[in-house]
Amino acid sequence: MKKTVLALTTLLTVSFSTGLAAPVNDLAQGQTAVGVGTDSVYLEHKVSDQLLLGIQNVDRDHNGSMDDLYGQFKIKNNLSGIIGNRDFDYGTGLYFGLAVNGPLAPEWDGYASVIAGSDFKEIQVGANLRLTANVDLNINYHSFMPDEGRNGNGVGLGATYKF
């Protein structure tokens, strides 16, 4: 257990990207997830079998801090719709998107998401590795394309605790 905690702490302190949005988590109804990433924190709760609500803060170096309030609603088993509101340093904006997730291998779940609003587009592809029943390690590639500011692309690391 000590080796797992040490490895997780080491991975979280190494910065590979300018930001990391919340990964697509597979939560059971009533379950909550708290996560940290390279430059982000988030909290999600699965309100019902069909609806997940979340809040996150992402601090992208060149594009400032962004706060999101979002919901994911299940369309099919591994496909979800996303609707949210992003508060940029320079204003707010509604966004919509889609997310897909599914098993890749034992203990590995993969996902991809795309969201877009009037001021930006964002794509993320990643995988969650189950370390314990309640802890996942996340690795992803993201591309953030704002209408104003610089694009941000990179690999990110994070961890999620589910309860």
- pTM beyond 0.85: the answer is no
DSSP 11: H
Structural domain total, the chain: 1
Helix (H) or strand (E) holding 100: strand 91-105
Residues 25/130, Cβ–Cβ less than 8 Å: no
pLDDT in tens, 43-54: 999 999 999 999
State the pLDDT at residue 116.
96
The enclosing domain of 39 has a CATH number of 2.40.160
Of 153 and 14, the one with more pLDDT = 153
- Structural domain including 22 reads 2-162
Q: Which residues contact 25 (CB under 8 A, 6 or more apart)?
A: 33, 35, 44, 52, 128, 136, 160, 162
Question: What are the backbone dihedrals phi and psi of residue 62, each rounded to the nearest 5 degrees, phi first?
Answer: -90, -15
Q: Which residues contact 138 (CB under 8 A, 6 or more apart)?
A: 20, 23, 35, 37, 126, 127, 128, 129, 156, 157, 158, 159, 160
Give the pLDDT band (50/70/90) at residue 39: confident
